[in-house]
């Protein structure tokens, strides 16, 4: 009976959705041949380089892969502290 | 000049050998001249799935090492005179053959046959490289499970890096009743994730076990659902435009049971 119920109303705990979500994540890393550890290293290096030019908030710093349709992108979100702007004004 | 197609998957046990045997027998039944190569050196299996295990004299390694002539090593099928098998060596390993040697051998066989089908071993090491070396096209077999799709993705990446094999996908062992419940990925999910062309969909079918027991590919049985799927795949490989098989869960799901209860069919 539950079967019929599930079919009519749809199930949001359907295990295939879990499978798809897990696959997406694991494939993003596989395809970039970048392990989560390597991604962490990349992030630390980015922080180092960018802070030579800008005063950034490395707590709010986020780097991750994202998918746009077929293509993959590395998306970084880098909050800049106010001070950077002041620096430029004083130039 | 024939066409060489490698049947590959990355993950083991998803149906490469079953697929090679069925497509091979299907193409032969349709009148094509077909040779099957078992490239799984050390774990030979295609011979038993084809029911030809008693006829082996020489094998792939014997031919490559010049110990036997190709025409002496090829085993003629008992059902079709235009179907041949080149068996793998059982007591050697994958390093007994190199990709260059495979390329030469497959090239030679393409002169004689319309289709040369290569049954690839699991994995991405030397055995895979050997199997892929001489092939023009790749067919990737995957089941609707996370690990299988992940490995298929890896294989597709390796094949696409060579820009030569135009991989297409066979989804094997799909279970319509589970798909309906949302407990199994469906074809669209897999195509979307893997982003390659679909060559065919083969249902999970008990008859595959029966046919393997007998050494008679399911494609030769008109009543088998998997056999029907393989017949369609065969026709697509010959260039026909065949619509994808409708997969309903005959008799398995609730609707099927209800139908049965009311004595209705199909
Ligand atoms: N559509 C199907 N329905 C039911 N059983 C199947 C189906 N396809 C394959 N099988 C079964 O799954 C098992 C593995 O199949 P097969 O040997 O073809 O896989 P493989 O990919 O060649 O394995 P390996 O990686 O070890 O070479 C076999 O027992 C086979 O009978
Ligand atoms: Mg096999």
Instruction: Give A55 or A70, the one with higher predicted confidence.
Output: A55
Give the pLDDT score at A61: 83
pLDDT, residue B251, reads 44
Q: Cβ neighbours of residue B228 under 8 Å, at least 6 residues apart? A: B222, B245
Interstrand relation of B3-8 and B137-142 (parallel, antiparallel or unpaired): parallel
Which residue in A11, A14, A20 is closest to B193 by CB distance?
Answer: A20
Domains, chain B, ranges and CATH? 3-261 (3.40.50.300)
Residue range A55-76: mean pLDDT, rounded: 76
End-to-end CA distance of chain A: 74
Min Cα separation A14/chain B (Å): 5
Nearest CA to ligand 1 atom 13: B13
pTM score: 0.83
- Residue B252: the pLDDT is 44
The pLDDT, as a whole number, for residue A39 is 81
Q: Which residue, B69, B121, B66, B59, is CA-closest to B91? A: B59
Q: What is the pLDDT of residue A67?
A: 62
pLDDT at B54: 96
Percent above pLDDT 70 for chain A = 69
> In the prediction, which pLDDT does A58 show?
80
CB contact under 8 A, A17 and B153: no
Within 8 A of B183 by CB-CB distance, chain A residues are 14-16
Whether B12 lines ligand 1, by a CB cut-off of 6 Å, is yes
Q: Which residue of B has its CA nearest to A11?
A: B182
Quote the CA–CA distance of B164 and B239 in Å, as a whole number: 19
How many H-runs (helices) and E-runs (strands) does chain B carry? 12, 8
How confident is the model at residue B265, as a pLDDT? 43
Helix (H) or strand (E) holding B233: helix B225-237
Per-residue confidence (pLDDT) for residue B262, from 0 to 100: 57
Residue of B nearest to A24 (CA): B193
The larger pLDDT score, comparing residue B112 to residue A42, is at: B112
A90 pLDDT higher than 60: no
The pLDDT score that the predictor gives to residue B259 is 52
ipTM score of complex: 0.80
Mean pLDDT in order along chain B per 10 residues (266 residues): 97 98 98 98 97 97 97 97 98 95 98 98 96 97 97 95 92 96 95 95 97 97 96 98 81 48 50
Using the beta-carbon criterion (under 8 Å), do A11 and B182 form an inter-chain contact?
Answer: yes
Token pair of B59, please? 């094998």
């Amino acid at each position: 009976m539950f079967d019929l119920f599930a079919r009519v109303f749809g199930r949001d705990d359907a295990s295939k959705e879990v499978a798809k979500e897990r696959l997406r994540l694991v494939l993003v890393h596989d395809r970039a041949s970048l392990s989560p550890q390597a991604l962490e290293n990349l992030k630390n290096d980015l922080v180092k380089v960018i802070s030579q030019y800008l005063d950034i908030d490395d707590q709010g710093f986020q780097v991750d892969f994202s998918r746009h349709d077929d293509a993959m992108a590395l998306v970084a979100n880098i909050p800049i502290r106010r001070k950077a702007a002041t620096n430029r004004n004083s130039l | 000049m024939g066409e060489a197609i490698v049947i590959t998957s990355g993950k083991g046990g998803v149906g490469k050998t079953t697929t090679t045997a069925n497509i091979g027998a299907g193409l032969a039944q349709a009148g094509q001249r077909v040779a099957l190569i078992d490239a799984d050196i050390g774990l030979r299996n295609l011979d038993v799935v084809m029911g030809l295990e008693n006829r082996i004299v020489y094998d792939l390694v014997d031919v490559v090492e010049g110990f036997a002539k190709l025409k002496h090593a090829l085993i003629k099928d008992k059902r079709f005179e235009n179907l041949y098998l080149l068996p793998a060596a059982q007591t050697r390993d994958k390093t007994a053959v190199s990709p260059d040697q495979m390329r030469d051998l497959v090239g030679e066989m393409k002169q004689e046959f319309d289709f040369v089908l290569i049954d690839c071993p699991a994995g991405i090491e030397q055995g895979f490289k050997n199997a892929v070396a001489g092939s023009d096209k790749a067919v990737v077999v995957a089941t609707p499970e996370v690990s299988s799709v992940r490995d298929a993705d890896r294989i597709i990446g390796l094949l696409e890096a060579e820009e030569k094999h135009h991989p297409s996908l066979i989804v094997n062992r799909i279970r319509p009743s589970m798909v309906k419940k949302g407990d199994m990925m469906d074809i669209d999910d897999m195509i979307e994730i893997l982003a390659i062309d679909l060559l065919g969909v083969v249902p999970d079918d008990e008859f595959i076990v029966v046919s393997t027991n007998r050494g008679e590919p399911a494609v030769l049985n008109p009543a088998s659902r998997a056999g029907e799927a393989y017949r369609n795949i065969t026709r697509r490989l010959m260039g026909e435009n065949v619509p994808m098989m409708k997969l309903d869960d005959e008799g398995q799901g609730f609707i099927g049971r209800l139908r049965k209860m009311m004595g209705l069919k199909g």
